[in-house]
Chains A and B, each alone.
Chain A
C-alpha cells in the first residue's frame, strides 16, 4: 500500500497537471502512431515516413514547429472574442472527459461517486461533457463569418443531435448489466464477474454487449467527426468546415481537441466494453501500477479500429447520416436495451 499524505491543494495541483499534460500527450500519441505512421503505411504515403531516421520520427516535431510558427490570422469580420474562445471550449470538453476515466483501482482524477448528489454518474457525466465540444464548433463556425465555416458548424450541430442518442443508448445496455453508472463500478463488475462460472478473465462486457460496442464505435466516429461521418470538416466540399479560418496555434487547439477526444472516446469504449484497466489475476496495488498500461493498450486497440475506418471509408452525405442514425442505429440500440433488460430480469 502506498499512502502518501498530501493536502487537498497539492492533490488538486497534481491532478490538474496530469489532466493538462495527458490531453496533448494522448493527442500527440494518436497523431503520431495513427495519423502519421499507420496512415502512411496504409496509403503508400512517402512524405511522413521520410524525415528523421526510423519511420520518420521527426515528422511530428516538424509539424509542431510548423504550427507554432504560423501567423495567427483572424478574419476582419470575425466576432473576435467568440472566435478566440471557440478552440478553448473544444479542448475543454476533452479535458473534462478525461477527469472521470479510471486508470486503476485508485487512479483517477475525480470520482464524482463520493458526492452524494452524483452517486455514481461517471458514464452520464462523460457523455454529457463530451458533447460540449459542439458548442465550441458552433461558436467557431459562427464567429468565423465564413459561409463554409457556418455550413460546417450547422452540420456539426445536426450531427450531434443525430448521434448523441445512439451513443447514449448504446451505453445503456452496459449500465443495465453492470447495475451502475459509475465507470469504476463498471470496471469492477467486469473484473470480478465470471463467465459461466469461470472467473479467469473476468467478464468483459463486449461479450454480451457486442451490439452496443458496435453502435458505440459508429456513434463515436460521428461524434469525433471522423470519416465516414466527417461532414462538418469535409475537406473536399467545405474545405475544412468550421476550422477553415483558423491558423497556427488556434488550429492546433482544434487538432489536439480532435485527437484528444478520439483518445477519450477510445478510453470510454475500453472502459465500458473491454474491462478498462482490469487485467486478469491482478488486483489491488499491482493493478494500480499495471492498470494504466493495460488501459493504454486497450485504448490503442480501440483507436486503431477508429482510425482504420477513418482511412478506409468515403464520407456520407448529411441526410444519409441522419437516415442511418434514425432508421438503423436508434432502433437497434432500443432493441438491444430491451433484450438486455429482459435477459437481466430472466437470469
Chain B
C-alpha cells in the first residue's frame, strides 16, 4: 500500500506526502524516546551493592544514568578528631576500624609513622611478621573481593568460595593475633607476640589452597563469557584522570599505571628482600580491575611463602620506653594497602598523643571518581563498577 492510497480525511487540506519522508518519520518514531522525565533513584544507604552505607543519588533516564551523586558520611566517626584525644597505642585500636577487611595493614603505616618520629626501628623478625600479616590481610581482602564481584555480577557461587577462602586466612590471622577482624597486634617498636607453634606449616598449606582457589576463580569467573560481557569496557578509568583523582592501588594499576608503593614508595617493611612482580593491565575497565586483583592475590600468596622460607629469628620488640612520648615533628607515611594508598600524616608536639593526624584513606579518593565514572552507564553497570572499585565504607568515612 502506498501513501497515495490513503483516504483523504474530510475537509483538511491535502498534503502531498513524500513516501521517503514518511519512512524517515517511521524511523524517527522508533528512535524517539518517550518524554518521561528523569527518575531519581536512591541507591542506598542500605543496598547490597554499596557494601555498607554509601548512598548514591542517581538520576535515571530509563535505565541509563544521567548523573550520580555519592552521599557519604553515614558512618563518619570523626577519627581525625578522636586521634587528638588519644595516646598512640590507643589510636591503633581506632585505625583498626578504618578498613575493617584488612585491619592489620591499616596499623602498619601509623605505627611506622610513630616509629619514625621516635627514631625506633623494629627488629627484622618483627618486620617480617608485619609483612606476612599485611600480605595475609591483603589476601583475605582480595579473596573476598574475588567472590563478591561475582556476586554483584549475579553469580552466587563465587561469593561462597570467597568467604570460604577468607575463612582460612582469617583463621591464620586469628591464630597469631587473637583477633579475626581487628588484630591490634602492632606495637610501636615491634610486634606483640611470636607465631604460635605449627603456624608456619599451616600457613604454607593455606597458601597452597589460596593459589588453588585463585585458579578456580580464574576458571569460574574470569573465564566466564557472561562475566566478560558484563565487565569488559565498563567503567574505564583513564590513567591521567585516575591519578588526578587520587585513585590508587589495584584500581590504578588496572589502568596501566605501573605504580606500587611497596616497590615505588619510600622503603618500608621487607618488600625489597622479596622477589615479586607488580601486575598491571592496560584496559582500565572493571574486568581488568578484577584481573589485577586476582594476580595480586597470587603474588601475595607467593610472597608469604617466600617470607616463610627466609624468616629471620631474633627479638620481636625494639627497646621502647614504657611511656610512649613521641618527640616533636611531622611525618607522612603511606603504604600500599589492599584498597590503595593508605597514609597517615602525623604531627606530634612531643606529647603522648598526636597533635593532628590526617588519615588519607584509599577508598575516599577511589569513590570520589564515581560521579564521573557513572555518567551514562546502565543501572546494572553501577553495581559492576561499585564492586570493581572495591571500597570499604569505613575507609571512605573514617
Q: Which residues of A contact B (CB under 8 A)?
A: 39, 42-45, 147-148, 151, 227-228, 230-231, 234-239, 311-320
Contact = CB atoms under 8 A, between A and B. Distances in A.
A314 B154 contact: yes
B383 to A, nearest CB: 5
B152 A236 contact: yes
Contacts of B41: 147-148, 151
Classify the secondary structure of B's interface with A. Answer: helix
A316 B63 contact: no
A43 B160 CA distance: 6
A101 to B, nearest CB: 30
For the complex of A and B, the 3 pairs showing the least CB-CB separation, nearest first, are A315-B154, A314-B155, A43-B160
A312 B157 contact: yes
B47 A239 contact: yes
10 contacts: A43-B161, A147-B42, A151-B63, A236-B383, A237-B49, A312-B220, A313-B224, A315-B154, A317-B378, A318-B380
A310 to B, nearest CB: 9
B227 interface: yes
A45 B147 CA distance: 14
Given A236-B48, A237-B380, A228 B161 contact: no
Contacts of B152: 236
A147 B157 CA distance: 28
Contacts of A235: 48
Interface in B67-123: none
A237 B152 CA distance: 8
Q: How large is the interface on B (under 10, 10 to 19, 20 to 34, 35 or more residues)?
A: 20 to 34
Contacts of A238: 379
A317 B378 CA distance: 9
B380 A231 contact: yes
B153 interface: yes
B383 A237 contact: yes
Given A45-B160, A151-B63, A312 B230 contact: no
Contacts of B155: 227, 312-315
Given A151-B379, A237-B382, A318-B380, A42 B154 contact: no
A318 B378 contact: yes
Given A151-B41, A313-B155, A318-B380, 7 more contacts: A236-B49, A236-B152, A236-B383, A314-B153, A314-B226, A315-B380, A317-B378
B378 A311 contact: no
Nearest to B152: A236
A44 B160 contact: yes
Contact of B157 (A228, A311, A318, A320): A311
A314 B234 CA distance: 16
A228 B154 contact: yes
B39 A314 contact: no
Given A236-B49, A237-B382, A43 B230 contact: no
Among A239, A317, A320, the one with the most B-chain Cβ atoms within 10 Å of its Cβ is: A317
Contacts of B382: 237
A239 B230 CA distance: 18
Contact of A227 (B154, B383, B387): B154
B111 to A, nearest CB: 36
A42 B157 contact: yes
Given A236-B154, A237-B49, A147 B39 contact: yes
Nearest to A316: B226
Contacts of B230: 314-317, 320
Contacts of A318: 63, 378, 380
A237 B230 CA distance: 13
A234 B157 contact: no
Contacts of B157: 42-43, 311-312
B151 interface: yes
Contacts of A320: 229-230
A238 B49 CA distance: 9
Nearest to B40: A147
A319 B49 contact: no
A314 B383 contact: no
B25 interface: no
B180 interface: no
A239 B50 CA distance: 11
A236 B229 contact: no
Given A314-B226, A315-B230, A44 B164 contact: yes
Q: Count chain A CB atoms within 10 A of each CB in B42, B156, B378, B379 and give the residue with the most.
A: B156
A42 B382 CA distance: 28
A118 B295 CA distance: 61
A313 B49 CA distance: 18
A318 B381 CA distance: 11
A215 B56 CA distance: 39
B150 interface: yes
A41 to B, nearest CB: 11
Contacts of A45: 160
A158 to B, nearest CB: 10
A313 B225 CA distance: 9
Interface in B345-369: none
Contact of A234 (B42, B154, B156, B224): B154
B227 A314 contact: yes
A236 B379 contact: no
Interface in B141-155: 150-155
A317 B150 contact: no
B154 to A, nearest CB: 3
Nearest to A313: B226
A227 B381 CA distance: 17
Interface in B163-180: 164
